[in-house]
Structure 1
């Protein structure tokens, strides 16, 4: 899952360029890459031939060295045996034998070092096929990474649950899902989480509420019970600024309106399947819930929502282009409220990535 930088613009156009770029670039460079690959194969064959020749010479030299060492050992041994066999002076022949053994030892050590060095020389490896190996990174994953934003640390108390929920979504969902966090579709009200992907559009209002959370016949209450000193049971009521179900309904309708107004073709193609899904997410680990029957929207813990999303059906014929169109729509409305001085044009990002890919191919061909 990719968390979208809210400053990203022209996502749909950038996606179309990036998604087609790999095949187009490879098509333009096919002949040059094939010729360069053929040259590298020829260079590899020459290098292997030279390697085998050096190996044969090395084996011959090592064998010759072994013969000299064996001869030296034999000569040194004879020098020590001559005085015993012929009754000659021992010291002279002992000196000669010692010299021969010393020279033979040095030759043996040198031969061993030479052999070890030859073992470390690698055999030439065949060149990577530019049409099969990942020599050149695909452009689309790099383009998606360029619009990703790193999650900040939870600064405010309520952010803790929201960020934890987003991280769980990141862990569970692939890179065909896209998430917007904290955008606005009306002045003064944030949409906590919008998830867009093959299963449609999901809007979540996230609450990091502890204690007991109760809803009964349209009325909300939130309280904590604890024992005071002396054992007296006390109840601490927690204020609720606005009913969270009404809050979700409002932001979900805002998201739906932006999509309806800015993506009419997309809505007409998917018809009723474009209904915004989602609901309330309660993220506090120790909270207790007393939600009565008749509650108007879906609700649950982070884990419940993760399971619900994973088992939800995909929308037939949904494409990543559809996701990009919705992202453009929601971010376009968000920028009408927040006029960013600097934006990140995803068409420019795709163009840069194409240029980088072609520069790498130029360098690969040049050094072949």
Structure 2
């Protein structure tokens, strides 16, 4: 593909991404995969160059652009050669990826700028859009981190998580024996720290209330030495179904899944009321802590959607609290850096349940944010998370 053809392909893809953000369609990486599935003439270098252009344009645009062309032209100050591509010059140099992924001014949509937790300085915003590293979690049911690093010679130990590894970009983890045998799972270092903060132990009864495809469920099961019981609950049948092969590969047998009907969660969990040692609520949220992985999600978020998410988080916390036994632990987490999803949500819980005791997690990282803690890409090198813990009154 010529540089002009690459630019045109990026424009077409950006138009699709913008429309999907407006209508609730597929994610950018899915759209890119579909686009090139129908264009097998494009070589690997072409695909990589177009993908990098698309993501550079997304990262550069805090607000949703009017069109793909407008989004790509937004890179002109960093990639002036793009102007030659638009002019149709056949001799224009190949576009190169910009050295930076944007500035504080372009990283955050204007309406969200004042909603970040007060401990997060504006200087940290650009890090929200840096490329995320590829982190793995060692599955202690299968071996230790040293064994995983021997199996993956390019891996290095993560700085904060004692069970984490970081591998170079481009490593095909799923082609490795370490992954196929269940020795490692793909999981961001921040998610690993959150799972460790739950302090799950063998013999416990645990509920992962928003389990999704089971990343944290698997981590909890490993910390429990596959002894005890975990109920992995979610309202999304498709995501729960993707958990089963992961459980088998990891050697986990203590997990039972439970599909919940939205609005009828209490009824579905009534048999567990007041009987659970640990409840994890990794709640649906804005995803502002994971923009470096999915930067276009900034364009999907609206004030109305954020309001609905905050209401859902509060409802889930109320449901979770009813499940915890006296003296048991409730852990609340969101991959968000917005105050209303983090510290304000924790303050609301504390206001309504004054007998519950705040029990800050000993993660060895992060900063205090109200009664919880915050991890950020700029400060900790992880995805962004807010985490709070409480002990139920005895």
**Smaller-chain TM-score range?**
under 0.3
So what's the TM-score if we normalise by structure 2? 0.20
Higher relative contact order, chain-length normalized (CA < 8 Å, sep 6+): 1
Q: Point out the structure with the larger helix share.
A: 1
So what's the TM-score if we normalise by structure 1? 0.21
